[in-house]
Chain A
């Protein structure tokens, strides 16, 4: 579950106030709104990457408002993907488990499983500069899902893709999320993505989520 209550965020002249919404356990929430209205700010606050003035954030019945990002059990795919330069796809996927000092065998199994699920097994030895846009987005999704987060935050994860690839990625995203049984908050401008994926549709209009 993602529950945001009375959230207030200030950054210079920009201000979001009284933001509140809920995405129930296992549901797929899609947040839409005009460019620059603060969607990314909200997702970064949920991830613990942006300080908030006041309000409460609950993830899976646990208040995480004061917790560090690493303690929130959250997956995050930013708009620019941000695959780590120099890391092979295998290392990108394994990153979160290596950080947690997981056993090598467990890391290999989870990486292979995720690569199979996302159809990127043949890319495991490539580096980010050798990937297409669609492939890079699959890797970023896999990297976020490997540590089995309870909540996944996706910031326009399917933007800048050809129409065919976009349609294919929507299907893949839907099936992967069902397989991993994770609660999702997905930011997009695309009604098609919202129509195909959303259980809960949210809109950010004039600083209010409706």
Chain B
């Protein structure tokens, strides 16, 4: 037990020290100058907006798929299960390249000029990875809810849909919150697929991870760390808020 506590403490210390090092390296004037930079302000707004949209899309897809995978047996389920894990396993750059190639073929090619290297590409790249994590989280959440509740609801006059919304979803709400948090966090940290599929055009498809990359390329370490601190702050606010919302159920 003591060993586990020490191991845990060392890991937490590592995380805290990384953040402290970032703060120590950055001075207030650089941070303020970064915050005043219109490019960075645009990247902050695009990051927050695209992460929120990709999270909502992920939930919209992950809730029914997670329920289907949890409750129903069908031929080829193992293959579907493996396919759902592909975005988790693949290197992020490969996902970006695959999306780019996909939009060379119809019917996707017809939409290419509105999507590739545009804001929709940012959202689609974030969604592709984030949704896989949301599906996994929702499936585990539904697995933990006994099917017996649905059975009773069916005998009490519900159809499958009513049983799901009236009996299952209220119990899965903390799973939904966990899936949303995970999807949002994944989207916020997404870099590789966005760089390949959406590019890194300033005031167009630049999100915060891209800003870090652009500052790194320009050799501006202080600016890069200032952007990193903004990302850490935004992520901390969202994660802590989600945990406070989840505290009622004690599930997060």
Interface, chain A (partner B; CB < 8 A): 44, 47-49, 68-70, 72, 74-76, 78, 80, 82, 84-86, 95-96, 99-100, 143-144, 147
Contact = CB atoms under 8 A, between A and B. Distances in A.
A106 to B, nearest CB: 14
Contact of B155 (A75, A84, A85, A100): A75
Contacts of A95: 153, 156, 166
Q: Tell me if B's interface is mostly helix, strand, loop or mixed.
A: helix
Contact of A99 (B146, B162, B170): B162
A96 B155 CA distance: 9
B164 to A, nearest CB: 13
30 contacts: A47-B151, A47-B155, A48-B154, A48-B155, A49-B151, A49-B155, A68-B159, A69-B155, A70-B154, A70-B156, A70-B157, A70-B159, A72-B155, A74-B155, A76-B151, A76-B155, A78-B151, A80-B146, A80-B148, A82-B146, A82-B148, A84-B153, A85-B170, A86-B170, A86-B171, A95-B153, A95-B156, A99-B158, A100-B157, A143-B152
Interface string B127-163: 0000000000000000000101101111111110010
Nearest to A47: B155
Interface of B: 146, 148-149, 151-159, 162, 166-167, 170-171
B157 A84 contact: no
A47 B152 CA distance: 10
Contact of B154 (A69, A143, A147): A69
Contacts of B166: 95, 99
B199 to A, nearest CB: 47
Nearest to B173: A86
Contacts of B170: 84-86
Given A84-B167, A86-B170, A86-B171, A143 B156 contact: yes
Given A84-B149, A84-B167, A68 B156 contact: no
Nearest to B162: A99
Contacts of B155: 47-49, 69-70, 72, 74-76, 144
Nearest to A98: B166
A49 B148 CA distance: 10
Nearest to A71: B157
Given A99-B162, A99-B166, A82 B152 contact: yes
Contacts of B154: 48-49, 68-70
A113 to B, nearest CB: 17
A48 B162 CA distance: 17
Contacts of B158: 70, 99
Nearest to B159: A70
A78 B148 CA distance: 8
